[in-house]
């Protein structure tokens, strides 16, 4: 089976020296990962994030580019370029990272 690129949403918790803002409780990452199937893409993404000092808690798969297009998703050129790069480099690309803050702790 040929490599495909999968869109993954990864929630990470806090880890020592993770680079997140001091008062963040974690972060949400949008990743594009290549793999023979989505399970392989998830395993590779979790391994890479752990190597980077992050603490993956949950991964939600949103399918391959073909699956997303079949569902009617609009995929902008910038996103396609990152997906193409992930496929060409057989890698994981973190496209977006947003810190999560606990609303209760900030009140």
At 45-71, the pLDDT tens digits run 999 999 999 999 999 999 998 999 999
Q: Number of structural domains, the chain?
A: 1
State which residues of the chain have pLDDT below 50: 106-107
What pLDDT, on the 0 to 100 scale, is given for residue 104?
63
CA dihedral 26, 31, 36, 40 (to 10 degrees): -10
Which pLDDT value is given to residue 107? 42
Range list of H helices, the chain:
38-51, 65-70, 77-89, 103-106
CB atoms within 10 A of CB 87: 19
Range of the domain at 33: 4-106
Q: What is the pLDDT of residue 106?
A: 47
């Amino acid at each position: 089976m040929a490599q495909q690129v999968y869109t993954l949403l990864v929630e990470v918790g806090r880890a020592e020296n993770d680079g997140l803002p001091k008062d963040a409780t974690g972060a949400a990452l949008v990743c594009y990962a290549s793999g023979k199937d989505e399970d392989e893409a998830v395993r590779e993404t979790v391994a890479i994030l752990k190597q980077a000092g992050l603490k993956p808690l949950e991964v939600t798969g949103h399918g391959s580019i073909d699956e997303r297009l079949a569902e009617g998703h609009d995929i902008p050129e910038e996103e396609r370029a990152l997906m193409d790069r992930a496929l060409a480099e057989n890698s994981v690309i973190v496209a977006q990272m947003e810190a999560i803050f606990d609303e209760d702790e900030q009140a």
